[in-house]
Amino acid sequence: MKTINIGLLGCGTVGTGVAKILIENKGLISSRVGASLILKRVADIDIKRDRGVCFDNGVMTTDAYSVVDDPEIDIVIEMIGGDGIAKDLILKAIKNGKQAVTANKALLAVHGNTLFRAAAKKGVDLAFEASVGGCMPIIKSLRESLVGNTISSMTGILNGTCNYILSKITFDGSAFESALSEAQSKGFAEADPTLDVEGIDTAHKLAILTSLAYGMEINFHDIYIEGISNITPIDIEFAERFGYRIKLLAISKNKGDRVEARVHPAMISFDNPLSNVSGTMNAITISGDAVGDMMLYGHGAGMMPTASAVVGDTVDLVRNILSGSKGRIPLLSYQFDNIKKIPVMPVEDIFTNYYFRFSALDHPGVLSKIAGILGNNSISIKSVHQKGRKTKGSVPIVILTHLAREADVKKALSEISSLDIISDSPVLIRVEDENGED
């Protein structure tokens, strides 16, 4: 039986999961693949820690470059993360003609165009299923299963940490901070949880998917990003009252010569299957002209689900080596010559429905002033709600709108903020109500 040698760079949580699967399920994998996968070298800065995995003597090293330079290694798996040394190591592995696997969405979102171009030029594969949605086979779906479709849109819950926090506040009344530390203790959060909470991790993933779906260069920097740190229990309560749940969504729409790509909290109806994706789970709906609507659901993070996707990628590359078909599937889904620079629409140009919450004095005429400004800015009101009655201080006034243009909304809210009857900054949450009335 042919032997394929694997080098693992980074043996943290997911890296350890990968090692575990490759060692403990070695027989199972070789009976499916027809080759023996040997974890030959493992590089990490800490080679003493007990990870609950038994490596043979000499497998572990602190020198990651000795792994990518080892002529006997066929496949390099990068599990270091970040966009520092990881980028250098992947480029070195590619230069040395090795197949590579990574789960590093932050790296691919920012430097993916360079890395994929280098791999394509060298004729090697760079697999990255685990970079988006953990074990959900979203990359495989876009690159392979849906190859015959024009993709029109994708909407995803792609960050387990944010989804966990929002679910804990919604269902258990937890405070933001305690929900975040629980997510961290479960091993989902990024090393810097700001990446999760401020929507950046979700945007990294959205940048990759948007490129694959529409045949464009990866463009992370033009994605509109808003995180969940300003979401308060009162807005969650209002949302529930209206039949909505608040989720951090990654939204991508094919508009022909432009794309919409945005990450922000949004209210979605209880009828939308994404509203039932709770805790650390991830899900994504994809619409294609042939397939219609489809949805993937699964663990978007965590040691073993992510490791499962990494091993799936590794086996794909082993099969390509065995059949002599490296580079069989274009890395970014389209042939390189057909990848375009498609601009991402500024958020000001989007149309959606809105939820506004104003803290306003409870006086006669207050509502007409607010409604007047909205009307003057072409924003049509769907419903108005006031909670409580106060002769002193402010009350929350909530307004739901029909479809409106974001630029008009921003202008109206800035005018409303300057009224002396308004005490705090208005709250804006987009309502993504595909099936609702306009």
Beta carbon nearer to ligand HSE, 187 or 330: 187
* Cβ proximity of 161 and 329 under 8 Å: no
Of 176 and 334, CB closest to ligand HSE: 176
Contacts of 414 (CB under 8 A, 6+ apart): none
Site string for ligand HSE, 310-329 (x = CB under 6 A): --------------------
Q: Tell me the helix, strand and coil percentages in the chain, rounded to 5.
A: 40, 25, 35
> Does position 17 bind ligand HSE by CB under 6 A?
no
Helix residue ranges, H only, 215-259? 233-241
DSSP assignment of 203-214 equals HHHHHHHHHHHH
Only one of the segments 172-180, 185-193, 251-259, 420-428 lies at the binding site for ligand HSE (rule: CB under 6 A); that segment is: 185-193
Q: Can residue 190 be called a binding residue for ligand HSE (CB under 6 A)? A: yes
**Nearer residue to ligand HSE within complex by CB, 192 or 434:** 192
When binding is defined by CB under 6 A, the residue of 99, 102, 153, 161 that contacts ligand HSE is 161
Beta bridge partners of 232: none
Question: Does residue 10 touch ligand HSE according to CB under 6 A?
Answer: no
CA distance 413 to 425: 9
Give the count of residues interacting with ligand HSE (CB under 6 A).
Answer: 10
Catalytic residue among 20, 40, 140, 205: 205
168 is catalytic: no
Q: What is the largest CA-CA distance in the chain?
A: 84
x-marked contacts with ligand HSE along 198-237 as a string, rule CB under 6 A: ---x------------------------------------
Stretch that binds ligand HSE, among 189-197, 211-219, 314-322, 353-361 (CB under 6 A): 189-197
If one asks whether residue 188 binds ligand HSE (CB under 6 A), the answer comes out as yes
Nearer to ligand HSE, 288 or 300 (CB): 300
Is 213 or 301 the residue whose CB approaches ligand HSE more closely? 301
Sorted by sequence, the CB contacts under 8 Å of residue 142 that are 6+ apart come out as: 151, 209, 212, 213, 286, 333
Least Cβ distance, residue 150 to ligand HSE (angstroms): 28
Q: How far is the CB of 426 from ligand HSE (least distance, A)?
A: 29
β-pairing, 281-288 vs 292-299, is antiparallel
For 340, which DSSP code? Answer: B
**Residue closer to ligand HSE (CB basis): 254 or 280:** 280
One residue of 64, 135, 189, 347 binding ligand HSE per CB under 6 A = 189
Distances (CA, A) of 438 to 202, 402, 430: 28, 5, 13
The sign of the torsion formed by the CA atoms of 157, 160, 165, 169 equals positive
Indicate which single residue of 301, 318, 331, 350 sits in contact with ligand HSE (rule: CB under 6 A).
301
Please answer whether residues 111 and 143 qualify as being in contact, where contact means their C-beta atoms are separated by less than 8 angstroms.
no
Cβ atoms of 76 and 98 within 8 Å: the answer is yes
Binding mask 119-158 vs ligand HSE (x if CB under 6 A, - otherwise)?
----------------------------------------
Pick from 30, 153, 155, 159 the residue near ligand HSE by CB under 6 A.
159
DSSP 254: E
The DSSP annotation for 138-161 comes to HHHIIIIITTT--EEEEEEE--HH
To the nearest whole angstrom, how small is the minimum distance from the Cβ of residue 188 to ligand HSE?
A: 4
* Binder of ligand HSE out of 129, 196, 235, 406 (CB under 6 A): 196
Taking the complex as a whole, the smallest distance from the CB of residue 187 to ligand HSE amounts, in Å, to: 9
3-state secondary structure of 89: helix
Distance of closest approach, residue 303 Cβ to ligand HSE, in angstroms: 11
- Tell me how far CA of residue 159 lies from CA of 10, 152, 301, in angstroms: 22, 22, 8
- As annotated, the active-site residues are 205
**Contact residues for ligand HSE, defined by CB under 6 A:** 159-161, 188-190, 196, 201, 300-301
